[in-house]
Amino acid sequence: MMTSCKEENKTQAVNETKGRDSIQPNIIYIMADDLTTQAISAYGGIYKDIAPTPNIDRLADEGMLFQDVLCTNAICGPSRASILTGTYSNKNGYYKNESGGKFDKSQWTFPQEFQKNGYQTSLFGKWHLGTVPQGFDNFKYHNSAGQQGNYWDPIYNENGRDIKEKGYATNLSTDFAINWLESGRKKEAPFMMLLQYKAPHRSWQPETKYEQLWEDIEMPYPATFDDDYKGREKTAGDTEMTMDYFSRRDMKYAEPKNLKGKEKLAWAFYGAKKDEIVQPDGMSAQEGKKWRYQTYIKDYLACVKSVDDNVGRILDYLDENNLTENTMIVLTSDQGFYLGDHGFFDKRFIYEESLRMPFIVKYPKKIKSKTINEDIITNIDFAPTLLDLADINTEQKMQGKSFKSILMGNTPKDWQQAMYYHYYEFPYWHHVQPHYGIRTQKYTLAHFYYNIDLWELYDLEKDPQQMNNIINDEAYSDTISDLKMQLTGLMKKYENNKSLEEFRVITDKDFGSIVDQ
Ligand code: SGN
Ligand code: CA
C-alpha cells in the first residue's frame, strides 16, 4: 500500500511538470447493462425501500445525479458504439444489435485518445461489439452467448485469449478490475478503466445468496402496469415485450433434457412453443401476469443488488488506497429498461423508462456533492466530456458536446435542451416498430414508420407517464408544427435527414453477425 501511495504522488508530480493546469483525474467508468433509473434508490421510485442500492446512492450523495441523460438509440451495441465514438448510429455505422454486424474497429474511440495521451487504460466485463477492443492496455471481456456473456462460469477473452472462469460474472468482472488497479497497471500514469457489467441483462440470474431474497414479499406494481395501449395500439400495443412474452427459462422452469436447435431456442425465448403464455395451471390471465412480473422483478432486482455490492467494493478499494480524491467515478447503463412499466420488459422505445439512462458522477475534487441536474444530455456527449475532464485536447470531430461546465455547476446558456432519437431494429427481438423523434424538456414527439406511418405526442408535464397520445388534439397543433421543425433541424444537424425508404433499407439490411461463423 505504501509503495502504491508514493507512486500515485509521483504521478501527480509528473502531471505538474507537464504544465497541465490541474492534475489529471483517474477515471472509472462503470456501465451496467439494462440498468434503469427505477431500480436505483437514489432516483426514488417504488422499489426504493424494499430493494435499496446503498452503494450507488453513495455515489449520488457524494456527487451529481442526472435526471435527463438520454440514449440516442436505446439498445446495447448501438448505444455502446455511440458512447465510444461520440456520434450517432448513422455516423458510426452501428445501427442494430440483431444482424447489426461488427463495430468498425478502424474508427476513432475515446479510450484510444486516453491511451495516446499517456493514460493507462483497461476494459473489464461486457464489450458486445464483435471486434477486438482498441485503445486498451489490458482487456478482459465476455466472450460467450454472442458476447452477451453468461452469469455463471463465463468465458472471458483476456487480451486475445479465451478463458473460462469459475463464479458469478458481476463479482468476477470486479475482481479483474481490482486486480488491475492493484497490480496490472503502471502506477506512474493516471488510469482510465471501463468496468462494464453484464448484469442486470436478461437472463436475470441472481447470485445464489440473493435467489430467495424477497420470496415472501409481493413487489409493488408500476402505475402503468395495466396500460391498455389506447391510442397507441399499433406501436406500444404491438410488441413482443409484454408480460406475456416471458419464456419458461425466464420463469425458472427446469430445462428439458436433450433439446436441440430450434426447440432449444423456443424454450429459451418463448416457452414450449411460440405463442404459449407461461404460468402455473389454474391461474386467471391477470393472476398469471402478476405472477410472471413477480418472478421477473425479483430476479432483476437481485442482479442489481450484486451490481450495487460490487460498486461498493470499488469505492472501498479507492478509499483504502488513497485514490478517492483524484478518481472520477461514472455510474451509468447502456440504456434504461421497463420494469413492468406499460406492461413491458426490455427497452428500445423513445418512451421515458428506456430513453433515460442512469447517470451519476462522483469526483470530490471538482464536483459538488448532493447535486441534481436536469439538463438534457445524451450518450454521444460522454466521450467529449470525459476527455475534457482529463484536459485532453483532440482534433477528432464528434457530434456530442462536452458537459464539463454542467458538472461544475454552470449550464451554458446555449446548451441544446432537445435531443434526437432513432431506433431501427425490427422485428427481432421484441417487435418494436422503427421510429425516430425529438424529446424536449416538455414534450416527446415520435414518428413510427417502416410498415406503418404514425405520429405520437406526449405532454410530459401533464402526462409524465405517457399514457395519452395527443397527436390529434387541436390545442397542440402549433406545438406539433414547432416540434416537427425542430426535429427536421436536428436530423439535418446530425446528418440523418434521409427518406423513410432509406431508413427502411437500414432496418432490412443484414450487416452480419457479431460472432465469427
Ligand atoms: C437478447 C435478449 C433480448 C434482448 C436482446 C438485446 N434475449 O437477445 O431480450 O432484447 O438480447 O439486448 S435473450 O433471451 O437472449 O436474453 S441488448 O442489451 O444486447 O441490447
Ligand atoms: Ca443493454
Q: How far is residue 40's CA from residue 60's CA, in Å, rounded to a whole number? A: 10
User: Hey, how many other C-beta atoms are within 10 angstroms of the C-beta on 166?
Assistant: 8
Q: How far is residue 258's CA from residue 1's CA, in Å, rounded to a whole number? A: 52
Helix, strand or coil, per DSSP, at residue 252: coil
Candidates 80, 97, 432: which one to mutate for ligand 1, based on the most atoms within 8 Å of Cβ? 97
- Which residue's alpha carbon is nearest to atom 8 within ligand 1? 429
pLDDT in tens, 207-234: 999 999 999 999 999 999 999 999 999 9
Q: What is the pLDDT of residue 285?
A: 95
Mean pLDDT over each residue of the chain, to the nearest integer: 94
207 lines ligand 1 (CB under 6 A): no
- Which residue's alpha carbon is nearest to atom 19 within ligand 1? 76
- Asked if the model's pLDDT at residue 333 lies above 80, the reply is yes
Q: What is the pLDDT of residue 264?
A: 82
Question: Does residue 144 or residue 9 have the better pLDDT?
Answer: 144
- Measure 34 CA to ligand 1 centroid, in angstroms: 10
- Measure 315 CA to ligand 1 centroid, in angstroms: 30
For residues 182-188, average pLDDT: 95
Cell (9 digits) for 218: 409481493
Q: How far is residue 294's CA from residue 256's CA, in Å, rounded to a whole number? A: 23
For residues 311-327, average pLDDT: 97
Out of 177-191, 254-268, 413-427, which region has the weakest mean confidence (pLDDT)? Answer: 254-268
Element (DSSP H or E) covering residue 300? helix 285-320
- Measure 11 CA to ligand 2 centroid, in angstroms: 36
- Asked if the model's pLDDT at residue 11 lies above 60, the reply is no
Q: What is the pLDDT of residue 290?
A: 98
Percent pLDDT > 90 in the chain is 89
Kindly list the distances between the CA atom of residue 256 and the CA atoms of 203, 252, 291, in Å, as whole numbers in the listed order.
Answer: 17, 12, 22
Ligand nearest to the CA of 142: 1
Of the candidates 101, 6, 186, 89, which has an alpha carbon nearest to the alpha carbon of residue 498? 89
- For residues 44-73, b (16+ Cβ closer than 10 Å) or e, as one string? ebbbbeebebebbbbbbebbbbbebbbbbb
389 lines ligand 1 (CB under 6 A): no
Atom of ligand 1 nearest to the CA of 33: 18
- Measure 75 CA to ligand 2 centroid, in angstroms: 6
For residues 1-24, average pLDDT: 48
Q: What is the pLDDT of residue 13?
A: 43
For residues 84-94, average pLDDT: 98
Q: What is the pLDDT of residue 272?
A: 62
Q: What is the pLDDT of residue 22?
A: 53
Q: What is the pLDDT of residue 268?
A: 79
- pLDDT band of 516, cuts 50, 70, 90: low
Question: Does residue 454 or residue 19 have the better pLDDT?
Answer: 454
- Measure 509 CA to ligand 2 centroid, in angstroms: 21
- Asked if the model's pLDDT at residue 259 lies above 90, the reply is no
pTM over 0.90: yes
97 lines ligand 1 (CB under 6 A): yes
Q: What is the pLDDT of residue 19?
A: 40
Q: What is the pLDDT of residue 273?
A: 66
Q: What is the pLDDT of residue 42?
A: 98
Q: What is the pLDDT of residue 20?
A: 41
Q: What is the pLDDT of residue 379?
A: 98
- Asked if the model's pLDDT at residue 16 lies above 90, the reply is no
- Measure 201 CA to ligand 2 centroid, in angstroms: 6
